[in-house]
Each structure stands twice: as structure tokens, then as C-alpha cells.
Amino acid sequence: MTKPFFTRSLLTFLAFVTLATGSWAEELILEEVVVTAVRRDTNLMETPLAVSAITADTLAREGVDNMVNIGALVPNMQVGLSPSDSGVQIAIRGITSNNFTELGDPTVGIHFDGIYSPRPQGGLALLFDVERIDILRGPQGTLFGRNSTAGTINIINSRPQFDSFAASAELEAGNYSTRAFRTWVNMPATENLAFRAAFMAQKADTYLNQEMDLYDLDWDVDNDGNTDGPNDVPADGIPNTDQRRNRHQKDSRAYGSIDRYSGRLSMRYTPTDTIDWLVTYEYFKDKSPGVPFLKDCQKAKGTFFECERDEFDVRINTPGKLDMSIETIRSEFVWDFSENVSAEYRFAYSVQDRYQLFDQDGGAFTDPDHPGYGIAIEGEIFGGETGYLIRDPQAYIDLGFDPVALQPFDDLALETEYSNYKSTVHEIIFKSESDSDLQWLAGFFYLKEDNEIKFNVEIPFCCSFIRPLAQSFVQPKRTVESKALFAQFDYAVNDRLNLTAGYRYTWDEKQDKNGSTHSTTGYWVNPGLYSARPDDTFWYESWTFIGDGTPFYGFDVPFWTDYYQSDDLAPDDGTLGADFTNRVPGTDNSHKADWGKGTWRLGFDYVIRDDLYLYGYAATGYKAGGFGDNVDTCECGNWTTFDYDPELVTTYELGIKSTLADGKLNLLGNVFYSNYDDMQRTFYAIVGESVQSGADIGTNLTTNIAKSTISGVEIEADWYPYDGGRIYGWIAYLNAEIKDMPAGDGWFCFERALLGLTGCPPEEENTDPNAPNVRPTNFAGNSLPWSPKWSATVTAEHNWYYDNGLRLSPVVTVHWQSEIFFQDNNFDEDPFHSGQKAYATVNASLRLINEEKAWGMELYVYNAFDERTRNWADYGPGYIKSSYAPPRSYGVKFRYDF
């Protein structure tokens, strides 16, 4: 973020406030906000937790239609999206999870109408006809339980009402051909039976400039200024990237486009005064292809690998495709079976199906000016000599590195051929309903997941040797079972002081039945099986080149006179072949593990005076352990599933809530401290070396590697400073510090040395199994990823009321946050900064509402100054690759209530 941008954002905000204060308006008063953060209906200002209640009106004004873009509304909350598997990553107070697999677990529990939803892809479900969203910060291990070490999000949908028929319809149109339709209908049938139907559909064209990737290698190998030498690779009109799926995409189907809809039907039945039964059916469909990783042109600016085009210009040879559906039925049955005791039974059954195809490389290839641009030739394969078919091997040698080839083009396609996740949730709660000084709550929770998935990795031109890599991970039955017993007691010592004690014990079990990994890399392991035809032998599988061999610049290695290109790929080669998992033998991933843990909460709340409320607590949280795929770490029969332990957190919090200024200002604040043990991290790691080829063996690995402490301050305010005006928002401070994290820092080591930046640790033999890298270090003192030191959001609103029933309401929202990192290494030097520098965004809207005739119109702009902000960043071929939040969008909405 630049200073001019921050200045103009601040001036915009102040100018709005100045204009608004001179206007005529009607008096507004703060209304009581009811939340269910303690499994009872309580006033937000008298709830002993850090909880933010986001109303439907706020969601609409800020353009929040799913969980991905809700982060700016909540203190110390960040939200990102894993593009390749549609996993929503939520971080609260620096605590998050980046394992989105069928056995991975989040750290923030997502609930719909109080019922747990286990898979992170569920965060993509559309938010429509919502009453409010309660976001609880801090561990909720007693009442909400499973995988809520960072907090809990409870999405409360609007319920059927018995009083009258009502309906609403809204149309939206905006840039990038944005179209949206939202509607709901409330239909009472009798005085104790009512229905509610809601629907939303949303479409938009891409903001990317996507074209077909027809990359044709034109390589002056001998650096003589042309490509007509005997060892050069001239462009020949045949693309060097996989063309089997490549096709032109319209803007409405390209990466970055939106195509999704959802519908909900609810029934509410109250046969007696003591029974309230809610049944909901919901269906969500998403065909939005997502957004690929892009070369980070802002960070590359001024370097030898500077972009020639805009970062939103992309070349794609694997068009994105997503076909995801989530079908859910939920039931909530509440029975006040006596004057003093009630029972609540909640049930949910959900089926998530997903097909996804994703271009992981995004057309971002190695820059030709990089010294490592080229293809590797190793003596282990070619008989004792080692050569480097790269642009400048001496540059590596002069800096003390072994030359490494970064191949001229990349080609990585990820395909979820199918995934089917079924989950069943049961929860029963008994709780007191008397006026006694002792209030209690006790319950039982049960979750069963039955998941299957087939995930394919296709790299026909791989890994600097230009050899194929094809992998298929087949998991026909991965199950998760979780049970818990819990109870919580509140005792009113007197009219002002209340004490709380709660405990929960959880049993978790995970199992992989008959799972398998099928892999062929063209050497040693399953050689010759990439092609479906037995007589089709490529040079890289038989270790002979196509054509005649010839010496290469004094090295006794063969060189080829014909090239393996995209026209050599058959439609059924690799994972595209239907029989791939039959012809390529698989591993046996069958495994089972279980864990158990008790979590507790001790707290108090004290009414200092009627408008001043104090609370404090100590609480623990627990996230289940797990395991990965079975891996042979030496290609000699040493198989392991890399089991990892649960996460544990203990949090201490002290908070205060006050209503001031004659009821026109609500002020909420808290300080907290958390101690985190056995934090889970998921990353690609080298876990062994082949005894046959000497090649590294890698896998996606989840392990317990970090200890950290987290402290911070959060302040929220809602203020009506004058008649018709409102200012609300929050400011937060977060110190999320890694205390112990043995690791390896291999972050752009050669490039950092080449550009004179702070270097990597020295290369050493690795002896620490928790640091699977040969440059061992410890990230102690660094910040946890997704943890800005400072962040704030403030909204100013003004309302003009007219005699004809019209109301005019301009609103401006400014969000600012300091630097964050996406990697534990916290590397903060350009062009390899491993995060997002400080930035600010501005949203604005202008509403015209006719309250007498029940219609309204809104003009809006989101990200008004078109800031390029990253929500994901990772390692690329010599530069950073990032995923970005959408650019500036603007449009109009029209709503009519019946």
C-alpha cells in the first residue's frame, strides 16, 4: 500500500463524515443484538465471549456472498481460498489449517443453524436469506467442540414465521457482466405451520484476459544469436505444452468467472407451545472454475524476470472446470418437556460431490534470462559425467551452488476426477430453563464422515528432465468418526457475579480402507507405463533419446535430434487413460488411528454497573490428529503413513462491554493470550531418497512442528454520533509468534544470492525428521502466517429521511491491515517477499429506499481504488506466484418487498 492511496482513502472517509454531519435526519438508536454463542439466546453486550454478530444488511452492503470475502468484517480474521481444491482457509487470531483433504481438519468450525459442517469446501456455499452470522473468536472446545481451536462461525438462516405472508426479490447487474437474482418467500399455512423458500443465482464473466497456451519452445542453446545450430531447439509450430484439453474459453467460462446458485426450503412446525420443529433442505451448485496462480508482476517489477504483460493476462492449456454440489437436510427439534428443562435435538445429513480440473502452473514459466533456464543432465543416468544444459551454469558455481535446471515450460494439471463426501451429524442437548442460581447444559455429539475421492496429477513434461509424471490417488473409503460428551454450568453468586465451568471429552477415529497411490515417473518405479500402448516407448522411459546420439559440448552424453512434444501425447496417456490405475500398480494406504482428549472452560462475568459488563475465562481447544498416504521413503519397502498428533491450545481472555453516550455507543474490547502446542503444518516435503536412482522422494506431509504464543487486543464499536449518522467498526492488534519451529529454509536460495539479498542457511546433512530440508533453521521469532500485526475496518453511514417516505443512505467502508506472510519463513525482501504488504481497500454504496412502497435501489463499488491484494502466494519457477482478490467491481441492485 502506498502513502498516496492511504491518504486518499482517509480523505474520502473524512469528507463523507463531514458532509453527513450537516444533514437533516431522524434519530436512530442502537438495537439489542441477540446471539447464541453460549447455546442460549443472550444479549451480545452480556455474552462472556469475543463474538461478532454480522447482520444480513451488513453482508449485502459489503458484497459478501460466501465466507471467502467476510474476513474484513471481523477483528483478527483472515480468509483465503485454495484454488486447486476449493478449500476455504479461515484464520482467526493467527490460527488456521492448510490441509483441505478428505482427512484434513479446519481450526475454525463452521456451523449452519447450529449444526457442524466438516468439510472446508462448505465455506463456498452462498450466503442468502441470512438472519445473521455469529463469529466466536477463541477456542470453543466445550460447547461447539470439534475443530474449533481458533473459533466458531455459526450461520443462522432466516426461519419461517407464522404472522403473515411476505416475500422479497432482488436483481443485481454490474461490470464483468455480473448478474444476480435473490428472492425469498415466507408462507404461513396455519397458525402453527409455516414454510419459507429462498433462492439465489449469480453469474459473472472473468476479469482475467485468458488465452490458449500454445507455447512453442524457441531455444538458442549455444547462445550464438539464432536457433539454426545443430543443438538448438527452434520453434516448429508444435506446442510444447499438453494440448489434449486445450481449447478456447469464452469469458463466461474462463478462470475468474462465476456461475453458481443455491436454493433452500424450510418448514417450521409448532404443534404445541412446548415444541418447535425446524426442517431445512438446501441445495448448492457451483460451476465457477476458480482463479489460477499467477506470476506476481508487482514483486517482479525491476528484476531480470519482470513481466512483459499484466499479471491478469494468462495463458492456459488446462481450462478450469468445477462441478460441485452440496445437498443438505437439517432438522432442529426443541422441546420444553418441563417447566425447568428443555431438550434440543439437531440432525444433519450432507452430500458433497465435486469434479474439478485446474491448471496449477497457470502458464507461468521460467524466464529465459534466468541462469537456470534449461534442462538437467545428470551423470547418474548417463554414465558418470554430469552436464548442465542450462543458460548459465557458471552463475550457480560462482555463488557456491550446484547448477539446477528450471525447465523452459511447465505443465501441471490437477484433476479431482470425483469426490463424494457424506457426513451425518447428531447432537442432543439438555439444558435448564428455570430461574435458579444454577443453570446447566449437557449434551452428546456424534459425527460420521464417509468420503471417497480420486485425485490425479498429470505432468507430461516434468521436472527439468522433461519426463512424465502421472499420479492417481484413489481413496474409495476414508472415514471419520467423532463422539463427544459435554456439559457446562453457570452459577450466579449474586445479582452481579456469575461463574462458569465446562468440560468436554472427544473421541476421534480416522480410517483409510483400501486406498491406493498409483504413480509412474518413467524410471525405476513402474517404468514404461505412462503410455497405454505397450509399443509406444518414449526416450525418457527407456533412457534412450529419440534419433541419433551426439556429444554435447565436451560432455560424453547423448543429445537428441527429435523432440518429445505435445503431438507425441495420446488421448489415453497418463491419468487421462481410463485404465491408468489398472496398468500402474498401486500402494496399499489402508490405515487406522484414533485419539481422545478432554477440553475445559473456566470463566466469570461481572456486571460492574448496568451499562458496564466484565468477563474473563481460561479455555482449551483440541483439533484431531491424522495421517497421510502410504509412502515408500526409499523405494526399498520402507512404508510409512506419517501420522501426526492433535493440536492443543490454551487461551486466557479478559473482556469488557459497555453501552455509553445515553445508549448511542456500544464499545467492546478484549485482551487475550494463547499458548499453542503441536501445531499442524501441511507442505510438500522431501521425505527420502531412492536407493535405486538416488532421486529425492517427496509427498504432501502434515506434521507437528510448531510451538507458538498468540496475544492481542480487539476493540469493536458501534456509534450513533448524531441523528441519522452511524459509525461502526473495529481495530485489532495481534502478536502471533512462533516459539519453536525446526524447519528448512529453501526459499529461492540461489535467486536470493544472485540478487544480493539475505541468504539461506548453509546446506547441511539433515538429521532432524521434523525439518525435511537440507538447509536447517528454526523459525522461532517469526510471525504465524495470516497474522497482520495491526488491522482495522471502519464504516460511516448517514441516512436522510424525506416526507414522501424516501430514505437516502450513503455508506463508506475502509479496511486496512499491516503486512502479513503466507509462509512461516517470513521472508520480507522483494522480489521474494513471502506475503502481502500493508494495504487498504474502500467499499462504498448509495441506497435509495422507499419505506412506504417497500422498494429500494443501491449503487455500489467494491475495492474502489482497484488494489491488487493477494490471498495466497507460493513458490514459482524463479519468482513468486500469487492468487489475487477480485479487482474493482461496481453495479446496481434493485429490491422489492411484497
pLDDT band at 863 (very low <50, low <70, confident <90, very high): very high
Domain membership of residue 697 as a residue range = 3-198+217-223+232-324+353-370+406-515+588-741+779-897
Torsions phi, psi for 238 (to 5 deg): -105, 120
Predicted local distance difference test score (pLDDT) of residue 411: 87
Is there a domain that residue 893 lies in? yes
Is the torsion defined by CA of 354, 135, 497, 614 positive or negative? positive
Predicted local distance difference test score (pLDDT) of residue 44: 92
Q: What is the pLDDT of residues 455-501, one digit of tens each?
A: 999 988 877 666 778 899 999 999 999 999 999 999 999 999 999 99
**Which of 615, 594, 493, 595 minimizes the C-alpha distance to 138?**
615
Q: What is the pLDDT of residues 285-299, one digit of tens each?
A: 999 998 898 999 999
Angle at 402 between CA 396 and CA 404, to 5 degrees: 80
Predicted local distance difference test score (pLDDT) of residue 128: 92
- Please give the full DSSP string across 230-296, using - where no structure is assigned: TT-B---SS-SS--SS-----TTTSTT-EEEEEEEEEEEE-SSTTEEEEEEEEEEEE-------EE-
CA dihedral 81, 112, 348, 145 (to 10 degrees): 80
Q: What is the pLDDT of residues 619-644, one digit of tens each?
A: 999 999 988 888 888 777 788 888 89
Predicted local distance difference test score (pLDDT) of residue 557: 43
Burial of 811 (0-12, 13-18, 19+ CB in 10 A): buried
Predicted local distance difference test score (pLDDT) of residue 765: 59
Average pLDDT over residues 753-773: 73
3-state secondary structure of 138: coil
Question: Residue 795: in which H helix or E strand, if any?
Answer: strand 790-798
Torsions phi, psi for 467 (to 5 deg): -125, 160
pLDDT band at 544 (very low <50, low <70, confident <90, very high): very low
Distances (CA, A) of 321 to 83, 203, 249, 256, 706: 11, 15, 11, 11, 36
Q: What is the pLDDT of residues 412-468, one digit of tens each?
A: 999 999 999 999 999 999 999 999 999 999 999 999 999 999 999 998 887 766 677
Across the strands, what pairs with 517? 473
Is there a domain that residue 338 lies in? no
Structural domain total, the chain: 1
Predicted local distance difference test score (pLDDT) of residue 9: 43
Predicted local distance difference test score (pLDDT) of residue 687: 77
Average pLDDT over residues 150-166: 94
Q: Using only C-alpha atoms, what is the Rg of the chain?
A: 29
Distance in angstroms (rounded) separating the CA atoms of residues 573 and 571: 6
Distance in angstroms (rounded) separating the CA atoms of residues 628 and 125: 27
Give this prediction's pTM.
Answer: 0.90
AA identity, residue 713: V
- % pLDDT > 70, the chain: 88
Distances (CA, A) of 97 to 150, 178, 479, 793, 809: 10, 32, 20, 24, 39
Average pLDDT over residues 827-840: 94
- Residues 215-227 as b or e (16 or more Cβ within 10 Å = b): bbbebbbeeeeeb
pLDDT above 50 (res 384): no
- What does the mean pLDDT of the chain come to? 86
Predicted local distance difference test score (pLDDT) of residue 17: 41
pLDDT winner (highest mean) among 546-550, 733-737, 799-803: 733-737
pLDDT winner (highest mean) among 168-172, 291-295, 371-375, 518-522: 168-172
Predicted local distance difference test score (pLDDT) of residue 774: 67
Place of cell 486518499: 8
Is there a domain that residue 549 lies in? no
Predicted local distance difference test score (pLDDT) of residue 227: 83
pLDDT above 70 (res 536): no
pLDDT: is 684 or 77 the higher one?
Answer: 77
Average pLDDT over residues 770-798: 86
3-state secondary structure of 33: coil
Is there a domain that residue 536 lies in? no
Q: What is the DSSP letter of 380?
A: H
Is there a domain that residue 257 lies in? yes
Residues 6+ away with beta carbon under 8 Å from 393: 371, 403
Is there a domain that residue 771 lies in? no
Alpha-carbon 822 to chain mean position: 12
Question: Residue 8: in which H helix or E strand, if any?
Answer: helix 3-21
Is there a domain that residue 388 lies in? no
Distance in angstroms (rounded) separating the CA atoms of residues 734 and 298: 27
Structural contact between residues 179 and 199, judged by C-beta atoms closer than 8 angstroms: no
Q: What is the pLDDT of residues 216-247, one digit of tens each?
A: 888 887 778 888 876 677 888 889 899 999 99
Predicted local distance difference test score (pLDDT) of residue 553: 43
Min mean pLDDT across 256-260, 325-329, 723-727, 770-774 is at 770-774
Is the torsion defined by CA of 299, 305, 306, 312 positive or negative? negative
Is there a domain that residue 68 lies in? yes
Distances (CA, A) of 706 to 463, 709, 760, 775: 30, 10, 20, 17
Min mean pLDDT across 537-541, 752-756, 874-878 is at 537-541
**CATH number for 790:** 2.40.170.20
Q: Which strands make up the sheet holding 880-884, listed edge to edge?
A: 294-295, 880-884, 870-875
- % pLDDT > 90, the chain: 58
pLDDT: is 881 or 538 the higher one?
Answer: 881
Average pLDDT over residues 790-799: 97
